[in-house]
Amino acid sequence: MIFSLEIEQQFLATLIQHPQNYAQIADFITHKDFYSEKSKVNQTVFSVMRQILEKGQEIDPSVVIDRVNNLGVSFNENLSIFDYIHSLSMRKTSANNLPSLAKELKKYSVRRDIYYSSRDVAKEMKDINPNASYADIVSLADKTFNQRINFYESGENVPVNLMEEMIDLIEDRGNNPVEEFGIKGPYPKLHDIYGSLLRPGNISVIVARSGVGKTTLALDFCTKASADNGNIPVLHFDNGEMSKEELIMRQCAAMSGVPMHLLETGKWRQHSEETVRKVRAVWEKVKNLKFYYYSVGGLDFEDMITVLKRFYYSTVGRGNPMIFSFDYIKPADSTNDGRNEWQQIGSMVNRFKRCIKDEILHDGLPIIPMFTSVQSNKLGITHNRNADSIVDDESIVSLSDRITQYCSHLFILRKKTLDELSEEGELFGTHKLICIKPRHLGRDIAGHIEPVLMGDRLRHNFINLDIKGFDVQERGDLRDIAAHMQANATLEPSAPRGRRETETDIVQEELGIPDFDNV
């Protein structure tokens, strides 16, 4: 048997009588864990109770009966919902048994998934081309099996003694050193200071006002990181704001440097031979890139998690790396469960974190990083303000404090103010990327923890970005600006404008300032 009606009924009876323990199983059991081929009654009763509990309301058998009846669901058997639910409420139960009943229920659910998946594999194996290679056979079996199944963390969830594992782990890492921990990002200065923003099991978040460029930055960062690291697949969730065609146009504009309006109108072919050359030069770049788009607008976050898991196991394949890009964190349009926005967002971020950290694993370790963004609140407005009136701290993060809590890196992205552009010069780009929370740092630790002396003031460091159209280029950090200003101060007063003196070139080289004119 791949189901147990007795376990399902005892679980429902315990939940009806001890709803205060719902939090213990809220993120573990869903309506899909109830067998529904012969009857949907248990699945329906649980869904109604979950909706009531997540609104913070009290469970009452009469209310549950009324809600089920109002759904207008017809069950296969000749069943009285009134009698059924009252019988559940009269069963002998124990509040302490709810977690163990949930685990038993989940075992049956996993067995059903494996059974149905194995049946699908058997059919594919019967019908497969006899000339298929060994690799094709295994690949088809793996893809078919994982299109249906959700993988669950195996083993007992018990505390472990870290000290028992320390010696073996550290010695093994010493025997097998690695150049990078996590996927290396495309911006060298950012990577040196903060390490990989694409560490498996970690979430990196960009906070910015609407229209500042958070989507542009995310697409640029993930696409270049993929290309630089052997064309790692990227799965990009769009939260209902951009179509597939819009993203294709943006990506092509970024890679070619051709204005987007020429691509959208199709007039790039008539514009000039140089424009045609730039566009067609992109074709060679994209041949091996794997950037998958999926619109999640209108989905709740549990459905998003399901899509993420199925895509990973069926398309990427277990054990293989992948970059998960999510644009962007906001309440789901379909959610109307009575909770405040901050509660919804907190649950969403927590669920994504658990998925990439604890559920999609290889050899017991996470394998997928998440790169995402969120809009700032009104404190993040910079238009028509000078630098001294700008708020550059975590108070600008909108929606929920849990975003800050669960992420590993949190950056503010904002346009430079007019006085900053005037002081720092066009050489150092158009935007600032300011880290307000680093859980990990790279080899250049001083780049984050040590303030930078600018004139007679100490200031926190930041990364300069130049965002033109849909292309992003790194332009050093605040230390480079300070060094550049110091070097320029050594110029002779009569030095011709627009030409660097040899002395300045030497100082730039000694201070390690990038020659951005040649980037």
Identify which has the larger pLDDT, 206 or 177: 206
DSSP assignment, residue 371? E
Q: Is the pLDDT of residue 203 over 90?
A: yes
**Cα–Cα distance, 469 to 465 (Å, whole number):** 13
Query: What pLDDT is recorded for position 4?
Result: 92
Averaged pLDDT, 165-178: 86
Averaged pLDDT, 179-193: 93
218/77 same-domain check: no
CB 400 within 8 A of CB 377: no
Least confident range from 10-24, 32-46, 213-227, 484-498: namely 484-498
Q: Is the pLDDT of residue 330 over 90?
A: no
Q: Which residue type sits at 65? A: I
Query: What pLDDT is recorded for position 146?
Result: 67
Q: Does any domain span residue 246?
A: no
379/235 same-domain check: yes
Least confident range from 219-228, 236-245, 394-403: namely 394-403
CB 225 within 8 A of CB 185: yes
Q: Does any domain span residue 287?
A: no
CB 190 within 8 A of CB 197: yes
**Cα–Cα distance, 198 to 409 (Å, whole number):** 10
Q: Does any domain span residue 53?
A: yes
**441-475 residue pLDDT tens:** 999 999 999 999 998 899 999 999 999 989 999 99
What is the chain's mean pLDDT, rounded?
86
**Cα–Cα distance, 263 to 245 (Å, whole number):** 11
**20-59 residue pLDDT tens:** 888 778 777 888 899 988 888 999 999 999 888 877 788 8
Cis peptide before 312 (omega within 30 of 0): no
Q: How far is CA 457 from its chain centroid?
A: 37
- The whole domain housing 201 covers 188-240+296-449+466-471
Q: Is the pLDDT of residue 428 over 90?
A: yes
- What total of structural domains would you count in the chain? 2
Domain stops at, among 111, 138, 170: 111
**Cα–Cα distance, 168 to 481 (Å, whole number):** 44
**Cα–Cα distance, 452 to 434 (Å, whole number):** 14
Structure tokens at 33: 């864990």
Give the Å distances, CA to CA, from 484 to 213, 424, 510.
Answer: 27, 9, 11
Q: Does any domain span residue 250?
A: no
Instruction: Say which CATH number the domain at 441 has.
Output: 3.40.50
Query: What pLDDT is recorded for position 507?
Result: 41
HSE of 417, CA atoms in CB hemisphere, 13 A: 16
Q: Where are the alpha helices (DSSP H) in 128-243?
A: 134-148, 162-175, 188-194, 214-228
Q: Is the pLDDT of residue 496 over 50?
A: no
Q: Is the pLDDT of residue 6 over 50?
A: yes
**139-152 residue pLDDT tens:** 788 777 766 554 44
Q: Does any domain span residue 516?
A: no
Q: Does any domain span residue 354?
A: yes
Query: What pLDDT is recorded for position 54?
Result: 79
212/77 same-domain check: no
320/440 same-domain check: yes
Instruction: Say which CATH number the domain at 69 has.
Output: 1.10.860.10
Q: Is the pLDDT of residue 247 over 80?
A: yes
Q: Is the pLDDT of residue 117 over 70?
A: yes
pLDDT band at 181 (very low <50, low <70, confident <90, very high): confident
Structure tokens at 270: 């008539």
Q: Does any domain span residue 236?
A: yes
Q: Encode 427-441: b = buried (16+ Cβ within 10 Å), e = exposed.
A: bbbbbbbbbbebeeb
86/201 same-domain check: no
355/222 same-domain check: yes
314/410 same-domain check: yes
The helix/strand/coil state of 43 is helix
Domain stops at, among 89, 111, 133: 111
CB 381 within 8 A of CB 390: no
**Cα–Cα distance, 72 to 75 (Å, whole number):** 10
Q: Does any domain span residue 153?
A: no
Q: Is the pLDDT of residue 494 over 70?
A: no
Task: List the helix and strand counts (H, then E) for the chain.
Answer: 20, 13
DSSP states of 140-160 as a string? HHHHHHHHHPPP---S-----
CB 370 within 8 A of CB 409: no
